[in-house]
Structures are given as C-alpha cells and as structure tokens.
A and B are shown apart, each in its own frame.
Chain A
Amino acid sequence: TDSFDYANYHTLSEIYSFQDMLVAENPNLVSKIVIGQSYEGRPLNVLKFSTGGSNRPAIWIDTGIHSREWVTQASGLWFAKKIVTDYGKDSALTAILNNMDIFLEIATNPDGYYFTHTSNRMWRKTRKPNPGNSCYGVDPNRNWDAGFGLPGASTNPCSETYHGPSAHSESEVKSIVDFVKSHGNIKTFISIHSYSQMLLYPCGYTTTPVKDQAELHSLAEKAITDLASLYGTRYRYGSIINVIYQASGSTVDWTYEQGIKYSYTFELRDTGSYGFLLPAKQIIPTAEETWLALMALMDHTYKNPY
C-alpha cells in the first residue's frame, strides 16, 4: 500500500484489493470484518484497527454512504493508511489505539459506488429496486429508525431522498445497525459525506436539543478549528436541523439514540467550483485536513470515557 495512488480515485475492486493488502501488510493491527452483503451481493467490508483486548471501546468511521461523493471513499483509503503509518509514531493516535479500536467502512454503499463507475456518475442511493416503481434505490441516510418517515425525507421512490419502505430496509444500513448493536461498546460514530463543509451532530428530525448538545457543540468547534489550521478551510457546525434542514431517518440521529454520545456527520470540503465532483488533486488536502478533525473527535472520546 506504499505505492498505492492516494491522489486518485479508484474503482470498487481497487478499494477491495487495497483493504486486503493493508490487512496482509499489518496483520497485528488491521483485520477485515465482513458485516453483511449489499443488495447486489457485494461484501460490506469494515477494517478493524486493534492492538488487542476484547470488545474494547470503539470508534466507527464510515465513508461513501452516498456513492457519488467520491472524495469520501478516497479520503477513507487515506485514513486507513494514515492509521497504520502513525501508530507507534504519533503519541495521540498510539494512545487511542492502545485503548480503543477503530472501525472504518470505506465503501459503505458498494452497489451505488460500482454504479457510479459503470453507469451513472451521479448515483447517490442504494440499488435495490422499488416494487411497483421504475425508480431504483433508497437514500441510505434517510433509512434509519430515528424519526423515520417524518418530514425531511421523501415518500417518492424517484426522489434522491426517498426514505425507503421501512426503517433499515436497506441491507447496507441494517448491517451497520446489527453490527453496532452487537458490538455494544461504540463510543464515537462518524459518518462522512461531501460537500458543503459542515460538521453536524444530532438531531435532524427535531429542533429539540439533544442532552449533550453543549459538549457536542464545543467539541465540534474544536474539531473544525483544528481542521482549518491546515489550509484555512472554514466549516459550519451545529445540529443537523439548525445548520442544514430537517432531515429525518438520518444515520447519526439513530446512533445517538443508541447511546453513542459522540455522533457526528461531516460534509467535506467544496472548492466552490465542482461540488462533489472534486478534482483528484483535492483528495489529499481534503483527507489531511479532515484527519485533524477526526483526531480531535477521537482524542476527546479517549480522554472522556463514559
């Protein structure tokens, strides 16, 4: 993985190969877990970074749940390499990994990602057919059992924000739900999207502030300040409903309601020219600056056990 081209976009098979290579190169630190299958039968791979112990408190990071946001999967690859490179060298990361596990799902919506490479670069949803309708797919960030079906998601299968027939109807979502529940000790959950430069915490479906709002807010401020220290990229931060709009059934609302206090969702950088079609030369700067924010979130979790 030293010669892997992190500054370019890659196909799904290249991502799968990368994951296997990383595991082969770092057998004492990285393993691959298959948490389920996508609708079209592709493995839902999660990289586990662990230095030992059983069922340690853990940090979850996912990228690419909206398949067309390619800079997120590309950043996920860079994060994976960064973790193995920095472990043993960076004291903060080393301390985290000596006490906690990190789970990283790089291709969270593999059917959608494959489809963006082969058929439609603009594809965002899953690829499951909707019976009785010619439009495919569900928005996997409206499919979670947290305010499911409330305003802020569409009932129309042809919409980009279609919430699906029922909560967790998508195997890509249900597999994470099952994993999170069975693990039972995930302390931080970070779901990464692009673009528009935001760091958001629950809730999306109600304006009622969550119990931990004050802490989540000040931690978000710290994270985006660290992020901005590298290239000056400015982020907005706050609760989903206050900073963006009402969005029901979203990932981090569900994880927060499962008791994962540090639940955040990112919208990565936007050059202002291309939207989510970021030129490949933006991948590494995006990943580098995001890493600083991830470290802030992970370090805070490590230092503030609950």
Chain B
Amino acid sequence: KETFEGHQVLRIVPKNELQLALLKNLEEIVEFELDVWMGVTGVSYPVDVRVPPHTLETFKSYLDSHDLEYSTMIEDVQAILDMEREQMKSAARLVQPRN
C-alpha cells in the first residue's frame, strides 16, 4: 500500500502573468514529482500541489527563487489519510449488520 508520510500540499498563489506561466509548466518538471491537485486558473487564484518529502526542499527553493508565494495547506498527507481511515473504521463499527 502506498503511503504518503511527509508529503506536503503547498498552496501557491501567482501574483502576475509571469508567475502564472511558470506554474502552468510545473507538471512538466518531472524531477519534482508533483501531483497537481488544483491546477492553474488565473492570477490570484491558488494552485495546490502535493510534493513528496525528497523533493520538498528543492521545490521550495524553486518557488523562492521565482518569488512565488506559498503556504503549507497540508503538513503531512498521511496524517490526514490515517484520520480518514480511522473515521471509516469507527463508522463501520457503529453500523453492525442486524441479525
């Protein structure tokens, strides 16, 4: 089972057309291994990308070097998935089949 420990989801907000163009090409930069959750729509609209831990620092440096503002939307994707899984398990326990 594939797990996502240390994967972060970054929310990047392009400020101008130049930054918008840079973000449009993100998926093509294969070495970052990004998973674009919410793609580019326009200036001031957020773009969400999941970044694996081993490319996180390089990717953040890339964003900094292009003056791209970002915030961390999800600190650890696996923590959310564990919560989701736990929630499903406890919900299943509550609804036991009737005899």
Contacts from A to B (Cβ < 8 Å): 3, 5, 7-9, 118-122, 154, 158-161, 195-196, 243-245, 270, 273-277, 279-280
Contacts and interface: CB of A to CB of B under 8 A. Distances in A.
B4 A122 contact: yes
Nearest to B48: A275
A277 B81 contact: yes
Given A273-B74, A275-B38, 11 more contacts: A5-B91, A120-B2, A121-B4, A121-B81, A159-B27, A160-B35, A161-B27, A244-B41, A275-B73, A277-B80, A280-B88
B91 A122 contact: no
Interface residues of B, number: 28
A109 B48 CA distance: 23
Interface in B42-85: 48, 50, 73-74, 77, 80-81, 83-84
Given A160-B36, A275-B73, A280 B91 contact: yes
A245 B40 contact: yes
B63 to A, nearest CB: 18
A9 B87 CA distance: 9
Contact of B74 (A8, A121, A275): A275
Chain A interface SS verdict (over half): loop
27 contacts: A3-B95, A5-B94, A5-B95, A121-B2, A121-B4, A154-B27, A160-B27, A195-B38, A196-B41, A243-B41, A245-B24, A245-B41, A273-B73, A273-B74, A274-B73, A274-B74, A274-B80, A275-B9, A275-B37, A275-B38, A275-B73, A276-B37, A277-B74, A277-B77, A280-B84, A280-B87, A280-B91
B39 interface: yes
Chain B interface SS verdict (over half): mixed
Contacts, number: 66
Given A244-B41, A275-B38, A275-B48, A9 B73 contact: no
Contacts of B37: 275-276
Contact of B84 (A5, A9, A122): A9
A122 B40 contact: no
A133 B27 CA distance: 18
Contacts of A274: 73-74, 80
B1 A119 contact: yes
Which of B9, B41, B81 is most buried by chain A, counting CB atoms within 10 A of its CB? B41
A303 to B, nearest CB: 32
Which of B36, B37, B83 is most buried by chain A, counting CB atoms within 10 A of its CB? B37
B84 A277 contact: yes
Nearest to B36: A160
Contacts of A244: 39, 41
